[in-house]
Structure 1
Amino acid sequence: MSKPIIAVAGGTGNLGGRIVKALIERGAEVRVLVRTTSDAEKIGQLEKLGAKVLPINMTSEQEIATACSGASCVVSALAGLKEVVIDTQKTLLNGVVLAGVPRFIPSDYSLDFTKFNDGENRNLDLRRAFHTYLDAAPIEATTIFNGAFMDMLTAEFPMIIFKRKLIIYWGNVDHKLAFTTLDNTAEFTANVALDTSTPRYLSIAGDQISPRETGRIMEELTGQKFRLFRLGGLGLLSLLIKIAKKLAPGKTEIYPAYQGMQYMRNMIDKRGLLKSTDNNRYPEVKWTTVEDFLVKNIDSK
């Protein structure tokens, strides 16, 4: 029996590479579509995993169609601004449709932006704009919402201030925030790509946890007191976003300071709450909780 063919665009990226790995582990034949200028070292790493890497002109629908011919699904993990999220993804989608591929997974991987309005989050606005085009295309599509990447909790996500023993938060201290690791997101995406009957939207969360609960976990893991510190509510955060956009507009940056603030505002908004998840759709995925993640990564802090 032949292996299912899955094509991946954006496979040289952090999440994309993990998706490629997860697909190969699940027995798929993986084709990775890369630009002709892509990093040779990253290409070599993908080939070592067992992927077939295809350097192509990503502005050519015909080249994309040829590379995707015979695939049962194409996964996009492209990251960028309008030129990538909308323009390049449109070209990718057109090529995929031209190739007769039946299914497409767009590069969303975020909280559920269908609940929010234009102007609230620049990067999510771009994804919503692409959906207008995607939903009119003759192809089955599945979007995966995963909240925020849990991996950021020990990096740039401003919640746990390790050195000062602080848990900083906006809004309600008991409001639950949804986090999913990059690995779990990749595993779930691989399963979706190989699943021939998926709905338009799927939501996952490795954990849903409040600032107060995060503080308790940190105290249990470190034996030290972590103080809860409220920065303000939605109104103040919105005002600071306006100021940050004027001082540092970051028009060419994917993640300027205000963009992270916009994402935080969405997460603490009641509309950002997850009432249910599709975690149980693939029982083989072992979900990492925030406590599990911190146990593995807290030593580095």
Structure 2
Amino acid sequence: MKKIILVAGATGNLGSRICSALIKRDASVIAIVRAASDPEKIESLKKTGVTIVEVDFDNIDEIAAACKEVNCVVSAVAGLREVVVDLQKNILHGALQAGVARFIPSDFCTDYNPLVPGENRNFDLRREFKGYLDGTAIQAASIFNGAFADILKYNTPVLNLKNNSISYWGEKAEWKLDFTTMDDTAAFTAEVALDDEAPRNLHIASFQISPSMISTEVQQISGKNFAVQQTGSMEDFAQFIKKQREDNPAGENELYAKWQQSQYVYSMFSTHHKELSNGRYADLNWTTASTYLKAFVK
């Protein structure tokens, strides 16, 4: 019998990929969506074989009805407190009311567990929801993928293609950063959703690469020289972020405020995955750093 997996956040970039990965694995997939969801995205999901159920996310009974006979709920929602904490609680309560056995929260990020609370606003919200989730009887599995590899395309300090530079903080030129593509994350998530024995925390990375290693890769691909530069100490970086946040109070209501982006990079240089769960599912093919960088480095 096919397993039934319910996905919240299915119209998002990651959520839609998770749905496709589940369909490829012969799962029955239900996507719960708002009435105001983009019709084109809804139609795209339908074409892949996803069953669409429109719900009021403030109505736990409606969510519970959608969760009937579901084996696992996957949350791929993104937002601030009203989404990561409040809306996810509603989804969780709907799953519990329907007797769903398993729940995958929207923890697609660097593992925040070893980090100091207060260093990353968005991680603190996930940490708060985790505490609530772990107080329930449902079997949870969090997937920590480091950073989505897409950020390497956007001229962040980690790789700036405009000025041919690569930056790091402290003594971390050889510190390995965790990057995972969205497709690799989606494929792994689909496997976890179908795996009743999945552990509480799983760590993945398409590739782990240090600033020095990034320099070697992009120079080989482009033939250009890239400066690997120390921007300052980690303490300097923390103070910079603090001032950046103080100078931009409007960012408190923005999901990806500039200071939040800086907090994410700071977290990447503060912790990394010491053991990966990449080998848990034999049929997955992980994207290499070279393959990924060749797609956009010229």
Contact 2:173 2:211 (8 Å CA) reproduced: yes
For residue 113 of structure 1, what is the aligned residue in structure 2? 112
Cross-structure match for 2:81: 82
Q: Which residue of 2 aligns with 1:204?
A: 204
Q: Deviations over 1:184-233 (max 9, x none)?
A: 00000000000111111111111111000100001100111111122111
8 Å Cα contact 2:146/2:272 also seen in 1: no
Q: 1:156 to 1:41 in 2, by over 3 A?
A: farther
Contact 2:57 2:87 (8 Å CA) reproduced: yes
1:35 pairs with 2:31 = no
Q: Secondary structure at the match of 1:114?
A: coil
The 3 A distance-change label for structure 1 pair 259 and 27 is same
2:177 matches 1:177: yes
- The equivalent of 1:192 in structure 2 is 192
Counterpart position of 2:252: 251
Aligned length: 296
Residue 133 of structure 2: aligned partner: 134
**TM-score normalized with structure 1 length:** 0.96
Tell me the CA shift for residue 297 of structure 1: 2.3
**CA RMSD, Structure 1 to Structure 2 (Å):** 1.0
Aligned to 1:94: 93
d(CA) in 2 for partners of 1:66 and 1:150?
A: 36
Structure 2 CA distance for aligned equivalents of residues 38 and 156 of structure 1 = 31
* Unmatched tracts of structure 1, length 5 or more: none
**Cα displacement (A) at 1:158:** 3.0
How far apart, in 2, do the equivalents of 1:59 and 1:117 lie?
A: 32
Partner SS for 2:253: coil
Query: Which 4+ stretches in 1 moved above 3 angstroms?
Result: none
Q: Residue 261 of structure 2 corresponds to which residue in structure 1?
A: 260
Q: Measure how far apart 1:273 and its partner are.
A: 2.5
- Mapped to 2, the partners of 1:190 and 1:156 lie a distance apart of 30
8 Å Cα contact 1:181-1:288 kept in structure 2:
yes
SS at match of 1:7: strand
Supply the distance in 1 between the matched residues of 2:16 and 2:296 (Cα, whole angstroms): 21
| Corresponding letter in the other structure for 1:133 | Y
Task: Show structure 2 runs of 5+ residues with no match.
Answer: none
> Quick one: distance in 2 between partners of 1:12 and 1:158?
30
* CA apart distance, 1:264: 1.2
Aligned residues with identical type, % of pairs? 45
**Corresponding residue of 1:293:** 292
Q: CA deviation at 1:169?
A: 2.1
CA contact (8 A) 2:175 2:210 kept: yes
TM-superposed CA distance for 1:156, in Å, is 5.5
* Superposition deviation, residue 181 in structure 1: 0.6
